[in-house]
Amino acid sequence: MPKVKVIFGSDQVRNFFTEMNKDDELPGGLFEYSFKTEAETKAFILRIDEAMDWLDYHILEENEDIKW
């Protein structure tokens, strides 16, 4: 079953990439979604990409992990 982890929030995404506060717990921001098919997963990511101007986010690669 395909899964996608997404970090929502400008501060949370910035902190993820700058490694600021990685050891501190940040409120909210990390969500995991499961899908039945790869096509559903791709459609979900496409919709998030279209919302980029509204809210910052980062979709975690399989080898990325969150430490907070």
pTM of the model: 0.63
pLDDT in single tens digits along all 68 residues of the chain: 899 988 888 888 887 887 665 555 555 688 899 999 999 999 999 988 887 766 667 778 888 877 66
Burial 46-67 (b: 16+ CB within 10 A, else e): eebeeeeeeeebbebeeeeeee
